[in-house]
Amino acid sequence: MPAFSRRQLVVLALLTLVWGLNWPVMKVGVGHFPPLSFRMASLWLGLPILAAVIVQQGLSFRIERAHWGRLALLAVTNMVLWHALMILAMPLLSSGRAAILGYTMPIFSAVMGAWLFGDRLAGRAWAGVAAALLGVVLLLWHEMGALGSRPLGVTLMLVSAASWALGTQLLRRLTIPVPLLTLSFWMVAITCASLTVLAALFERDRWQLPDAQALAAIVYNGLLVLGFAQTAWFFLVRTLPPVASTLSVMMIPVLGVFSGTLWLGEPLRWQDWTAVALMVLAIASVLWPARSATQKIQ
């Protein structure tokens, strides 16, 4: 497992904060605005920010036609399916439990990497996967009855997590020789177009001007979640092995659970506290420097 650079740790900390707090934000947003339209508006707000940064840095928007197929595959697996299915599941689940189900992604990613792509994971990486899995089980312990009556929400969130996991594996393996910001822009653009079509087909009769709460949630998602965090995530994925980048963000659902408790009054049980320790163990399995790296530092 690689040692994280200072830059990667700073990006990871900011990403965890922005994405973790976003789960109750999204729950509030979809309570005041149609879910697909909510996500569509957020994406369109974030897209010009990415474009402005590309222009400011003097980068090109151009992607060769030969790479369009790879771009479409990366966009669909990393973003289109994740954003569409996840936001449709949000009204059906509590924000904390939605975060937990969404962040089964690292478990899917580690297993896919080993089974589909022949990754050889260190023992502590598997220990991290096991700790994360146990944390998910504990956090869902008292929710099984409620979740059993809402199979659609659970299914949507798990399928979206599996898609994101596959996209994470592909993002590191499919080479498109363009700057990361350019790749991020076009993936977000494809997702914008896809969600606009879906929202127009299924929610057009519910379109209205967002109220203050919905507007605040859209702005948070557009500026921070998509304008900053999405590119930050692609940076971590591109610069770290898949299992390291995925397990290292396991504090996000923990933050989602506790912020949902404080903000929305969602219940907090002993399983939540135990899961915190397990998630920290999962994170430590990838963030703690290898012995050889520690010896070199000394």
Residues 202-225 pLDDT 10s: 999 999 999 999 999 999 999 999
**Average pLDDT over the chain, rounded to an integer:** 84
Rounded CA separation 127/130 (Å): 5
Rounded CA separation 127/203 (Å): 43
Q: From first to last of its 298 residues, what are the pLDDT tens digits of the chain?
A: 456 688 888 888 898 899 999 999 999 999 999 999 999 999 999 999 999 989 998 999 999 999 999 999 999 999 999 999 999 999 988 888 788 888 788 778 878 888 888 777 677 777 877 887 887 777 666 656 555 556 788 889 989 999 999 998 998 888 899 998 899 999 999 999 999 999 999 999 999 999 999 999 999 999 999 888 888 888 887 777 766 666 667 778 888 888 998 888 887 777 777 877 777 777 667 656 555 444 443 4
Work out the angle between the directed axes of helices 270-287 and 123-139 (0-180°, nearest 10): 160
Q: What φ, ψ does residue 177 adopt, rounded to 5°? A: -75, 65
Rounded CA separation 100/274 (Å): 14
Nearest to 257 by CA among 268, 249, 248, 247: 268
Distance linking the first and last C-alpha atoms of the chain: 18
What is the model's pTM? 0.83
For 283, residues 6+ apart whose C-beta sits below 8 A from its C-beta are: 128, 247, 248, 250, 251
Residue with tokens 């949000």: 90
